[in-house]
């Protein structure tokens, strides 16, 4: 499985040859440097550790600085692993760019969704709300009953209630690559990806 780390730039639109308008998300994908190659024999699983977004050497602690220097790589702000990366003819210090993808390929994008803070059940779980008549006029967005008092005399675990919403890891699958700008390291994928502008995402080729 091939993949790369990127930064979400924002949404735009692209016209196809037949004139059809497609909504796309623009992602600054790489360039990423290989920091470490993990193998099942040594580490118990196969993965490649990539670095993205250069970081000043003075802002890196000594253990991480030694980790980067061992791979003959510069310090990076984001370090992430991609499992089962195709490592043929690749070694630590090599650079991974958007050239690993092709237009028309299907990818899956993982990112952190927008944090909404503490939200009620109407917004968080799409509750319909209560009636505005029959004596209830000030609790339209309330959750209603959360359990019986006789049995089981407690609130069941996992009940949909108000709470923190968003700021979760989300993976969107089945996104098609519409355009690749290799000179500017830009990847155009059809549809929306999780996260805010300038948030970090991981793009991986989706196996058919």
Q: What is the pLDDT of residues 82-135, one digit of tens each?
A: 988 887 778 888 888 999 999 989 999 999 999 999 999 999 999 998 888 888
State whether 174 and 157 are in the same domain: no
Domain tally, the chain = 3
State whether 23 and 126 are in the same domain: no
State whether 36 and 90 are in the same domain: yes
State whether 36 and 91 are in the same domain: yes
Instruction: Check which CATH number belongs to the domain holding 46 and give it.
Output: 3.30.160.810
Most confident stretch, 27-31, 96-100, 127-131, 161-165: 161-165
- Residue 48, Cβ neighbours under 10 Å: how many? 25
- The parent domain of residue 173 ranges over 1-29+101-115+166-208
State whether 15 and 39 are in the same domain: no
SS (H, E, C) the chain: CCEEEEEEEEEEEEECCCCCEEEEEEEEECCEEEEEEECHHHHCCCEEEEEEEECCHHHCCHHHHHHHHHCCCCCEEEEEEEECCCCCCCCCCCEECHHHCCCCCEEEEEEECCCCEEECHHHHHCCCCCCCCCCCCCCCCCCCCCCCCCCCCCCCCCCCCCEEECCCEEEEEEEEEEEEECCCCEEEEECCCCCCCCCEEEEEECCC
Q: What is the pLDDT of residues 42-74, one digit of tens each?
A: 989 888 999 998 889 889 899 999 989 888 888
What pTM, to 2 d.p., does this model score? 0.83
């Amino acid at each position: 499985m091939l993949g790369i780390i990127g930064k979400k730039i924002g949404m735009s639109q692209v016209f196809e040859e037949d004139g059809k308008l497609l909504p796309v998300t623009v992602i600054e994908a790489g360039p990423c440097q290989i920091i470490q190659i993990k193998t099942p024999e040594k580490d118990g699983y196969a993965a490649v550790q990539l670095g993205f977004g250069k970081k000043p050497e003075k802002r890196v602690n000594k253990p991480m600085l030694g980790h980067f220097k061992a791979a003959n790589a510069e310090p990076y702000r984001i370090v992430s692993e991609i499992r089962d990366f195709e490592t043929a003819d690749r070694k630590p210090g090599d650079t991974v760019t958007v050239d690993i993808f092709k237009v028309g390929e299907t990818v899956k994008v993982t990112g952190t969704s927008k944090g909404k803070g503490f939200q009620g059940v109407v917004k968080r779980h799409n509750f319909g709300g209560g009636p505005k008549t029959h004596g209830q006029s000030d609790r339209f967005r309330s959750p209603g009953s959360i359990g019986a008092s006789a049995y089981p005399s407690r609130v069941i675990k996992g009940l949909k209630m108000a709470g923190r919403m968003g700021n979760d890891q989300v993976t969107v699958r089945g996104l098609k690559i519409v355009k690749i700008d290799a000179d500017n390291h830009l990847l155009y994928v059809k549809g929306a990806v999780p996260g805010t502008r300038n948030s970090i995402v991981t793009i991986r080729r989706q196996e058919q």
